[in-house]
Amino acid sequence: MSRTTAASEDPRTRAGTQLLADVRGEIARADAKAAVLVGAIGLSAGVPTALLSGGRRSPALFPAPAALLWWAGVACLATALLALVLAVIPRCVTSRWAPGRPLTYFGDVRRAAQAGRLTSALAETGREPGPGLLLALAETSDIALRKHLWIRTGLIAFGSSAVLLPGSLLFA
């Protein structure tokens, strides 16, 4: 039995590989959720804009309480959009790869290739997959966590704007 086969049969390696696949799936689902929510924000922003486009209503003519609600709602909507865009943009993690460290993602592969060490780095990572797997799992888990935090922020801001904007029109 080869060393790679033995490593792939190691329960820790199998568990780490499964967790890494699960985290990558969660990242893909988070991106899909955020993309759908960005579309919903676009639609939601169109409703108050359409109501105001007739020219009879303008936030500048709203009474002070209605204007305050309006601009707070606009700020929440902008915050929601920003948060959801931050959730979907790719993470540009700086590669910390150096000779002797395992390859964990495309940035490491690129850096090893630029150093002319890709073949040896691949061989090293293949001989001892555990450390690379742990690093990849930690990095992708951090990405998934940050995406979910931005989505949560976006949902809270979006929900707030969904209350504030129509509420301001009730008082206008």
The answer to whether the predicted template modeling score (pTM) of the entire model surpasses 0.85 is no
Integer Cα distance of 13 and 131 in angstroms: 10
116-170 confidence digits (pLDDT tens):
999 999 999 888 888 999 999 998 999 999 999 999 999 999 999 999 998 988 8
> Are the C-beta atoms of 140 and 20 separated by less than 8 Å?
yes
Task: Please say if the pLDDT value at position 2 is more than 60.
Answer: no
For residue 161, how far is the Cα from the chain centroid? 21
**Which residue, 108, 115, 112, 77, is CA-closest to 94?**
108
Task: Please say if the pLDDT value at position 4 is more than 60.
Answer: no
**Which residue, 121, 93, 86, is CA-closest to 107?**
93
Report the pLDDT value the prediction gives residue 43, as an integer from 0 to 100.
85
Q: Which residues of 44-76 are buried (b: 16+ CB within 10 A; e: fewer)?
A: bbeebeeeeeeeeeebeebeeebbebbebbbeb
96-118 confidence digits (pLDDT tens):
888 988 988 888 899 999 999 99
Between 54 and 27, the more confident residue is 27
What's the whole-number average pLDDT of the chain? 87
Report the pLDDT value the prediction gives residue 44, as an integer from 0 to 100.
83
**Which residue, 80, 83, 75, is CA-closest to 150?**
83
39-95 confidence digits (pLDDT tens):
989 888 887 777 777 666 788 888 999 999 999 999 999 999 999 999 988 776 778
Report the pLDDT value the prediction gives residue 80, as an integer from 0 to 100.
96
